């Protein structure tokens, strides 16, 4: 399988805090990768470096053969790497449909198909239909059609999440980075949302990286799991192997318990 994203020797420090140390990750096309780790372990830093929000101190990120380390978030999005956000980043005064139209409008503009003077509506590149149709299509796929005209402000949490992710699809991304797609979503909804997201995403043929805290979601949807701790990668394997790895169990799945165990052990010794 072709490597679509290659992160090499990434290092990042914030003062005395090591956010990333010697991170080496090669992502294969069409794979679904889960990123796990406790808060502050470095998962979000990793994503932020890929999307250009922060620059690594050393190291490089190569995407489809091109070095994107120094590019801005905007340029990286245009190149085909899109991300969703842990707290959905929406436009409070716009309706769900308008969200999609704004996003599709950007895609049209980037392709030079502004349409100021043209009479007919141009097809959106990558979707082969005019913007309105594409919008309806994507909303349909994400189960958002019934919320079409509602303002973002009034949407329930799970729907906001779906909209945030649906927005990332307008540009037909090659790589999709989902930051905690099921956080803030109630337990019953989690699988449903992930199902919907994954089928919609896979239908478009994208590579997916998602950050998750819920191990059930991870084991069910990820083909590969990368575990972070203290800025380093401590495991990188298929879910069955990674999630049962002793280090992962200690530092990610049951970290707090481990500390208590140690104290007990020390007290008992």
Partner 1 sequence: MSRDRTLPILGAVLLAVVLAGPLLPQWALFLVTIAIAKGLVALGLMLLLRAGLVSFGQALYYCIGAYTAGSVGKFFHVGDMLMQMLAGAAAAALVAFILGFLLARYRGIFFGLLSLALSMILYGLLAKNEALGSTDGFNVLPSTVLGIRPTEAWVRYVVVAVGCGVALLATALVYRYLKTPLGQLAPAIKDNEIRVEYMGTSVRNAIHVLYVIAAALSGIGGALAATTVGHIDPDMAYWTTSGEFIFITILAGTGSVVAPFLGAAIFGIIHTVAFDLSPNTWQMSLGTVLLLVIVFLPDGLWSLFTRRKAA
R_g over Cα of the chain: 20
User: Binder to partner 1 among 29, 110, 123, 219 (CB under 8 A)?
Assistant: 110
Which residue's entry shows tokens 């799991």?
Answer: 225
Q: Which of 36, 47, 61, 107 binds partner 1 (CB under 8 A)?
A: 107
Interface characters, 147-176, with partner 1 (x: CB under 8 A) = --xxx--x------------x--xx-----
- 244 three-state secondary structure: helix
Sheet with 3-14, strands from edge to edge, namely 17-28, 3-14, 58-63, 66-67
Q: For residue 67, how far is the Cα from the chain centroid?
A: 20
Q: Is 54 in the site for partner 1 (CB under 8 A)?
A: no
Q: Considering the rule CB under 8 A, would residue 258 count as an interface residue with partner 1?
A: no
Site string for partner 1, 189-228 (x = CB under 8 A): ----------------------------------------
203, two tokens: 């239908």
Q: Does 83 bind partner 1 (CB under 8 A)?
A: yes
DSSP letter assigned to residue 122: P
| Interstrand relation of 224-229 and 32-36 (parallel, antiparallel or unpaired) | parallel
Contacts with partner 1, residue ranges (CB under 8 A): 51, 72-74, 77-78, 82-83, 89-95, 98, 101-110, 114-116, 149-151, 154, 167, 170-171
């Amino acid at each position: 399988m072709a490597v679509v994203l290659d992160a090499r020797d990434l290092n990042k420090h914030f003062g005395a805090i090591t956010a990333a140390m010697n991170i080496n990750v090669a992502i294969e096309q069409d794979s679904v990768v889960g990123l796990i780790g406790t808060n502050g372990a470095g998962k979000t830093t990793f994503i932020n470096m890929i999307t250009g929000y922060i620059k690594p101190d050393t190291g490089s990120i190569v995407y489809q053969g091109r070095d994107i380390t120094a590019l801005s978030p905007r340029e990286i999005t245009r190149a085909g790497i899109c991300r969703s956000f842990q707290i959905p980043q929406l436009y409070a005064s716009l309706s769900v449909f308008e969200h999609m139209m704004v996003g599709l409008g950007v895609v049209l503009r980037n392709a030079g198909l502004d349409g100021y003077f043209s009479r007919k509506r141009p097809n959106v590149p990558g979707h082969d239909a005019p913007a309105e149709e594409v919008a309806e299509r994507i909303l349909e796929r994400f189960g958002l059609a019934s919320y079409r005209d509602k303002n973002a402000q009034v949407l329930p949490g799970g729907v906001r999440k779906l909209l945030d992710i649906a927005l990332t699809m307008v540009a037909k991304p090659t790589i999709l980075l989902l930051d905690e797609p099921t956080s803030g979503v109630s337990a019953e909804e989690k699988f449903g949302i992930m199902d919907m997201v994954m089928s919609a995403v896979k239908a478009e043929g994208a590579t997916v990286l998602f950050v998750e805290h819920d191990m059930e979601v991870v084991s069910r949807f990820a083909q590969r799991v990368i575990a972070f701790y203290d800025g380093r990668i401590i495991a990188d394997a298929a879910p069955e192997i990674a999630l049962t790895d002793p280090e992962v169990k200690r530092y990610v799945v049951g970290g707090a318990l481990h500390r208590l165990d140690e104290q007990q052990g020390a007290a008992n010794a």
